[in-house]
Amino acid sequence: MEPTVRERNPFISWFAFLVVVFAGLGFTYKLSQFIRTMLNDEVEGFALVPVTTYFIVGIGYLCLFIWSYLQGHYKDVEGPKYRLLEREAEYEAERERTGTLTYRG
């Protein structure tokens, strides 16, 4: 069995983890600033529309992620790569055998 990306290069996994952590910290900081501004009436709703849009888009992406996770789209992330290589080999063999390439979707 071939090692996973995480086993071959742990740097990529740690880098992705750190990016997500720092992005989450930045989001939390901006959210706390927004809430503080809304509560203190410093600048009456200067960012209400952009932040509301940001939340709606973020919730949409979160719903898509949860749906794809529950559907099992992340169980075999290496599989499509190998299927693509197998299909390419089949196409090459067919082209050598017949001289033409027929797409079978």
Q: What is the pLDDT of residue 86?
A: 93
Q: By CB neighbour count within 10 A (0-12 exposed, 13-18 middle, 19+ buried), where does 91 fall?
A: middle
Rounded Cα distance, 9 and 7, in Å: 6
Rounded Cα distance, 81 and 78, in Å: 6
pLDDT digits (tens, 9 = 90+) for 71-101: 888 888 888 889 999 999 988 888 888 877 6
Q: What is the pLDDT of residue 35?
A: 81
Q: What is the pLDDT of residue 63?
A: 92
Whether the model clears a pTM of 0.75, i.e. scores above it, the answer is no
Low-confidence ranges of the chain (pLDDT < 50): none
Going from N- to C-terminal start, the domains of the chain cover 5-75, 76-105
Give the closest residue to 38 by CA, choosing from 51, 56, 28. Answer: 51
Chain centroid offset of residue 1 CA: 26
